[in-house]
A and B are shown apart, each in its own frame.
Chain A
Amino acid sequence: MSGTPGIWRDFTRRLLRNRLAAAGGAIIVFFFLVSALPALFSSHPPNRIDIVHILRAPSAEHPLGTDDLGRDVLARMAHGARISLSVGFVAVGIAIAIGLVVGLLAGYYGGWVDAVLMRFVDMMLCFPAFFLILSVIAFIGPSIWNIMIIIGLTGWMGVARLVRAETLSLKERDFVAAARAQGAGDGRIVFRHILPNTLAPILVAATLGVAGAILTESALSFLGIGVQPPTPSWGNILTAGKDNIEFAWWLSFFPGLAILVTVLGYNLLGEGIRDAADPRLKGR
């Protein structure tokens, strides 16, 4: 990777030229702004209860309406953005870290290391993941950290398989043989020569993984075992939406739309990275 900046310049240029990927990137940047400066988007405090104005439809005062406790929905969504976005990031960070280690070990050493690790991966893939997440969270208690960790711990298998497959083919290449002939040890080969070459597929998996984690968190919060009120998250605002489904459509509509748009942004960017990293795959 080092010494070949041209590859990365090409990559960035192809990525920026892809209009859909650029749109996805813009969406993500926008929601990062929201989560960094929520007060900029709504002057209401997110947790101020106002019994007089409960379940008000969108108006000039409350652009997205109020919830069942009279709290401003826009303010809660702006403040909830930070929670929803950071869950995605931390969860995927954990998943990538585990997947990388397992995949590199299995692919590079092969033999019984590979056999044991891959059987473990097979086993983890047999759990209906959502059942597993649901029970763990219900047992150890719904806190935002627990949610991030458990989504990460149940989401690394895809990355491990990906990295293993890449490693298997990379370690047979001439440049690895050349490095070994020059006396490079296992550690140097793995980290200097193999790891950098697996970055593109990992980046794609990570981007798509963030999208998946945001969806999972919102589903957990929606079921009442995710982020706990009064802390706002897009998922738990939707729970109030479900309880008031007959009177207050705005309470269901806007938080879900935010989730949809964010996840769409990550998916578009992920596809864009894939195409930019390997132009042969374009359009498929």
Chain B
Amino acid sequence: MLRYILRRLLLSIPLLVGISLVSFLMMHMAPGGPIGAVTDLNPKATAESRARLQAYYGLDQPLHVQYGRWLARMATLDFGDSFSPDGRPVSEKIRERIPITLTINVLSMTLIFLVAIPVGIYSAVRKGSLFDRISTVTVFTGFAIPTFWLALLLMILFGVKLGWLPISGISSLDYGSLGVAGKLADRARHLILPVLLAAFGGLAGMSRYMRSNMLEVIRQDYVATARAKGLPEGKVIFRHAMRNALLPVITILGLSVPDLLGGSVIFETIFAIPGMGQLFYQGVMSRDYPLIMGILTIGAFLTLLGNLLADVGYALADPRIRQA
């Protein structure tokens, strides 16, 4: 097992290098650049001052030299300094933003599991029932709803019309003066809508997936055997069928990392949440190369890690795979 994990980790290094190379080329081959973004609107900027800026950021070097430098710095886990006026280290900027994005994603992931698994199981066991039909319709609608639109509607309903929940940011203006409990409650009120929305898309997919796994498992011989030897239905469903139907769900966990990260751009922009997605959006708009490279690399790393954890989890849960 340990050898397998080590091998996978080693194999992910060339993958990460490849990903960073593609991102790098893509960024630098596009017309325009970070210097233009700053100087185009400034009439006082001379050709000479532009050249000085180019040299300052190392953008006057040939591409392979620039990439080589970036890679060499990355080897020591140095992400470089941001091109933005504050010029702070990229790693510092990302470290500030990651906790809130991860919090929202972990919470929404938990919500997805808590809701989707029981719904999927119940739909499968009572296939064709009213509950199954309602949940199927809901799932199809869920697949089709633009999340940002749902966000707008919920903001209108709960934020504007009812005034129950705040519609932007992660804390109120008087956050500093609140006690510990008050702070927690305030943060929770701000996170309810974003977490619900982040979970929504995954909810539909996961419950559908769980339902079809369960339907598949229920037809297996060992379930028929369990029934034939007279086990109560509850025991057949939860002990024999459910545990096997849950296995493939582990894989989905790993695969959903890139979607969650991508989704965070949208809802962090809508709700003005200072997370990774918002940081990336700002970085892209100002052509902050080191920041963009940093976030893309971390995103790819998290995805690879998610896949690895999923495979390891699967192997731990299913002895058939461990032996293969």
Contact = CB atoms under 8 A, between A and B. Distances in A.
A139 B246 CA distance: 42
Contacts of B27: 135, 139
B152 A135 contact: no
Contacts of B144: 211, 259-261, 263-264, 267
B148 A246 contact: no
A260 B263 contact: no
A252 B149 contact: yes
Contacts of B285: 138
Contacts of B287: 139
Interface string A208-233: 00010001001100110000000000
A52 interface: no
A261 B145 CA distance: 8
A122 B15 contact: yes
Provide the main secondary structure of the chain A interface. Answer: helix
B146 A134 contact: no
A245 B304 contact: no
Contact of A249 (B156, B167, B211, B269): B156
Interface string A245-270: 11001001101100111011001100
Nearest to A235: B146
Interface residues of A, number: 43
B183 to A, nearest CB: 27
A123 B31 contact: no
A72 B198 CA distance: 32
Contact of A134 (B153, B160, B258, B281): B281
Nearest to A283: B127
B79 interface: no
B228 interface: no
Contact of B153 (A131, A139, A246, A252): A252
Contacts of A119: 15
5 contacts: A131-B280, A138-B285, A140-B30, A222-B146, A256-B150
Given A139-B284, A218-B148, 7 more contacts: A126-B15, A126-B300, A127-B22, A139-B287, A223-B265, A256-B150, A283-B127
A-B pairs, top 3 by smallest CB distance, nearest first, are A130-B262, A256-B149, A139-B30
